[in-house]
């Protein structure tokens, strides 16, 4: 089409003319009468017809352009016609006659501003409608009184909430808070020391308990439950060497670092110390967490952890000298020292296997370091002081112990969902907490042998990094879900009240629902 348009334009640029058309034009200009007009019109028509026959395309194009101009002019004329009565009057004889007279000046009207139009208020952005519901899973009777919250870890938006701001007992999920407080207060590289110093009498030695529950009675710590544990055998060997052959005449034991009572009053002693074998009397000197079996995760504990530790110290010293309780002399010479693994290693192992003993140690050391005191009662102030570092509101939190064993602990699920965002992002050294979290179907207390994430819930195996918890009146799980749609969620679920062991499977099913829904999780 563009090529034929170009060809036609070359003819239009030199329009044909004829004597008839030129004569007719002059006649019309010099003889304004009717005959002249008709003659001119006739000649013009004849000339135009001749031109059209010779160059039809050019004249068709020209006619279209002329029609466009005429239509445009007509539009202007029509606009003038409908513009007002003055335009109509100008076309009448009266108006023409009036135009020859000097017009009377008219005052220019002062333009008046239109009244301000109301501006609509800014409308809030439309909220996304999420359609993936876990309501039926949340209503499972095995969950008892449910407290739960789920948050998009990237946006911080709460996607699901059931009494999520209500503080409740956390069971072992509390270990997450104890770990965070220990990292902030003691530091990730802090190691717990057990020392021996010279006593006030010749040949007297004083062993000072520094709170290290991992100190092992096994030679070199080999085979102990706690990874890389220091050995009381090594402590005794250093002492003998420092004495340079001088015989040991007496042993003084200083356990004053931890104050009493040695047992938290709200704990069930028979269940936890004897039957379950998860928790010892909390003294600042013990070996292997005071387990009867030093290599077991859980094993019955004794009624005198200090005596058990001193027994092995004496054995490795090769002496049976008198032993007494007391304090180290001020400025006493150090004879020997062994140290625990750093706090990061302690946390990772305690989180993975839900070890109560390490967590009770850390909570007590945090309380001491913050100046809150050295007893169970001091742990609330100490741990809360450590948690302030993370900038999350601690309203409603009460810390009764470091392990979560007490039903008197209280933490809202909403606190945990915020803390786990920081854990996921490895802020302030919290990456070690993430590294220690059990993984669904793979490790720790969510791994093989614990009957978790089985059946339909096996869909979320490997996708849930979370801390488990169980006490008589509740089962809990809190941590991070790598959802099926790629969204990372933080969550906390408490099944509280008269619940039984099958609450764990109901929790797993609910968390698997979170996994399947991802960012499309609905709160309805």
Q: Are residues 61 and 146 in the same domain?
A: no
Rounded to the nearest 5 percent, the helix, strand and coil shares of the chain are 45, 15, 40
Among 69, 84, 99, which residue terminates a domain? 84
Q: Are residues 393 and 480 in the same domain?
A: yes
Higher pLDDT, 129 or 111: 129
Asked if the structure places residue 472 within a domain, the reply is yes
Please answer whether residues 334 and 197 qualify as being in contact, where contact means their C-beta atoms are separated by less than 8 angstroms: yes
How far is C-alpha 453 from the geometric centre of its chain's CA atoms?
Answer: 23
314-354 pLDDT tens trace = 999 999 999 999 999 999 999 999 999 999 999 999 999 99
For residue 299, give Cα distances in angstroms to 130, 274, 276, 294.
48, 8, 7, 8
- 412 pLDDT higher than 50: yes
3 falls in which pLDDT band (50, 70, 90)?
very low
Asked if the structure places residue 90 within a domain, the reply is no
Tell me the DSSP string of 153-207: TTT--EEEEESTTS-B--GGGGHHHHHHHHHHHT-TT---EEEEEE-SSTTEEEE
Q: Are residues 182 and 213 in the same domain?
A: no
378-407 pLDDT tens trace = 999 999 999 999 999 999 999 999 999 999
Q: Are residues 173 and 249 in the same domain?
A: no
Q: Whose CA is closest to 209, among 355, 303, 308?
A: 308
pLDDT of residue 116: 55
- The pLDDT > 70 percentage for the chain reads 76
Asked if the structure places residue 315 within a domain, the reply is yes
Asked if the structure places residue 390 within a domain, the reply is yes
Omega cis (within 30) before 261: yes
245 falls in which pLDDT band (50, 70, 90)?
very high
Distance CA 199, CA 252 (A): 8
Q: Are residues 166 and 276 in the same domain?
A: no
Asked if the structure places residue 511 within a domain, the reply is yes
- 76 pLDDT higher than 70: no
Point out the residues that are catalytic.
172, 175, 354
pLDDT of residue 150: 98
DSSP assignment letter at 376: G
Q: Are residues 206 and 317 in the same domain?
A: yes
- Whole-model pTM: value is 0.76
Q: Are residues 173 and 207 in the same domain?
A: no
459-498 pLDDT tens trace = 999 999 999 999 999 999 999 999 999 999 999 999 999 9
Mean pLDDT of 187-193: 98
Range of the domain at 471: 135-186+371-520
Among 68, 84, 100, which residue terminates a domain? 84
Contacts of 235 (CB under 8 A, 6+ apart): 194, 196, 207, 215, 313, 316, 336, 337, 338
For residue 272, give Cα distances in angstroms to 103, 135, 280, 302, 434.
113, 36, 8, 12, 27
Q: Are residues 167 and 299 in the same domain?
A: no
128 falls in which pLDDT band (50, 70, 90)?
confident
Q: Which helix (H) or strand (E) holds 385?
A: helix 379-387
Distance CA 404, CA 478 (A): 13
Among 84, 113, 148, which residue terminates a domain? 84
Higher pLDDT, 27 or 207: 207
pLDDT of residue 84: 37
Tokens read off for 290: 């005071």
- 95 pLDDT higher than 50: no
Please answer whether residues 86 and 42 qualify as being in contact, where contact means their C-beta atoms are separated by less than 8 angstroms: no
Distance CA 163, CA 499 (A): 17
- 511 pLDDT higher than 70: yes
pLDDT of residue 279: 97
Asked if the structure places residue 446 within a domain, the reply is yes
Does residue 58 come out as left (phi exceeding 0), alpha (psi in the -120 to 50 range) or beta?
Answer: alpha
pLDDT of residue 14: 37
Q: Whose CA is closest to 178, among 408, 346, 425, 353?
A: 346
Asked if the structure places residue 428 within a domain, the reply is yes
- 263 pLDDT higher than 80: yes
487: phi then psi, degrees, rounded to nearest 5: -75, 140
Please answer whether residues 148 and 494 qualify as being in contact, where contact means their C-beta atoms are separated by less than 8 angstroms: yes
- 54 pLDDT higher than 80: no
DSSP assignment letter at 264: -
Asked if the structure places residue 91 within a domain, the reply is no
Tokens read off for 255: 């356990």
Q: Are residues 316 and 445 in the same domain?
A: no
For residue 172, what is the domain's CATH number?
A: 3.40.710.10
205-230 pLDDT tens trace = 999 999 999 999 999 999 999 999 99
Distance CA 516, CA 420 (A): 20
Please answer whether residues 248 and 196 qualify as being in contact, where contact means their C-beta atoms are separated by less than 8 angstroms: no
List alpha helices for 208-355, DSSP H. Answer: 232-243, 269, 305-317, 343-353
Q: Are residues 491 and 383 in the same domain?
A: yes
- 431 pLDDT higher than 90: yes
- 40 pLDDT higher than 80: no
Mean pLDDT of 104-129: 58
Q: Are residues 422 and 514 in the same domain?
A: yes
229-238 pLDDT tens trace = 999 999 999 9
Mean pLDDT of 142-149: 98
Please answer whether residues 42 and 24 qualify as being in contact, where contact means their C-beta atoms are separated by less than 8 angstroms: yes
Q: Indicate the number of domains in the chain.
A: 3
Q: Are residues 239 and 313 in the same domain?
A: yes
pLDDT of residue 117: 58
Please answer whether residues 408 and 266 qualify as being in contact, where contact means their C-beta atoms are separated by less than 8 angstroms: yes
Lowest mean pLDDT of 43-57, 108-122, 377-391, 413-427, name the range. Answer: 43-57
Distance CA 509, CA 464 (A): 12
Mean pLDDT of 135-155: 98
């Amino acid at each position: 089409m563009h090529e034929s348009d170009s060809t036609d334009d070359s003819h239009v640029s030199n329009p044909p003319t004829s004597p008839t058309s030129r004569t007719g034009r002059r006649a019309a200009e010099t003889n304004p009468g009717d005959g002249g007009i008709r003659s001119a019109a006739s000649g013009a028509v004849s000339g135009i017809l001749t031109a059209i026959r010779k160059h039809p395309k050019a004249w068709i194009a020209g006619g279209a352009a002329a029609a466009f101009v005429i239509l445009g002019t007509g539009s202007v004329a029509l606009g003038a016609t409908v513009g007002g009565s003055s335009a109509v009057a100008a076309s009448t004889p009266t108006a023409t006659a009036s135009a020859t007279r000097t017009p009377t000046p008219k005052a220019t009207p002062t333009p008046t501003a239109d009244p301000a139009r109301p501006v609509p208020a800014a409308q809030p952005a439309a909220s996304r409608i999420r359609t993936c519901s876990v309501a039926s899973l949340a209503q499972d009777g095995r969950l008892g009184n449910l407290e739960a919250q789920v948050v998009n870890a990237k946006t911080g938006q709460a996607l699901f909430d059931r009494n999520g701001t209500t503080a409740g007992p956390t069971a072992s999920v509390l270990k997450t808070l104890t770990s965070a407080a220990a990292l902030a207060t003691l530091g990730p590289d802090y190691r717990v020391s057990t020392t021996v110093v010279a006593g006030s009498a010749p040949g007297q030695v004083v062993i000072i308990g520094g709170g290290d529950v991992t100190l092992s009675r096994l030679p070199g710590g080999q085979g102990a439950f706690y990874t890389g544990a220091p050995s009381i055998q090594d402590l005794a060997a250093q002492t003998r060497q420092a004495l340079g052959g001088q015989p040991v005449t007496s042993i003084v034991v200083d356990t004053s670092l931890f104050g009493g009572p040695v047992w938290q009053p709200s704990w069930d002693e028979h269940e936890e110390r004897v039957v379950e074998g998860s928790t010892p009397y909390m003294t600042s000197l013990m070996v292997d967490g005071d387990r009867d079996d030093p290599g077991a995760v859980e094993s019955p504990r004794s009624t005198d952890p200090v005596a058990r530790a001193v027994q092995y110290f004496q054995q490795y010293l090769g002496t049976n000298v008198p032993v007494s309780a007391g304090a180290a002399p001020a400025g006493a010479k150090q004879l020997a020292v062994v140290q625990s693994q750093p706090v990061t290693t302690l946390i990772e192992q305690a989180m993975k296997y839900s070890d109560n003993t390490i967590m009770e140690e850390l909570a007590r050391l945090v309380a001491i370091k913050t100046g809150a005191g050295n007893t169970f009662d001091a742990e609330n102030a100490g741990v809360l002081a450590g948690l302030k570092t993370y900038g999350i509101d601690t309203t409603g939190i009460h810390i009764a112990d470091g392990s979560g064993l007490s039903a008197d602990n209280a933490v809202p699920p909403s606190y945990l969902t915020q803390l786990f965002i920081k854990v996921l992002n490895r802020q302030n050294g919290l990456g070690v907490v993430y590294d220690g979290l059990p993984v669904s179907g793979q490790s720790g207390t969510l791994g093989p042998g614990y009957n978790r994430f089985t059946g339909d819930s096996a869909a979320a195996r490997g996708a849930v990094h979370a801390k488990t918890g169980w006490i008589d009146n509740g089962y809990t799980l809190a941590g991070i879900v790598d959802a099926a749609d790629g969204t990372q969620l933080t969550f906390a679920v408490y099944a509280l009240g008269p619940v039984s062991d099958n609450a764990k499977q109901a929790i797993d099913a609910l968390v698997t629902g979170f996994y399947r829904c991802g960012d499309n999780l609905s709160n309805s």
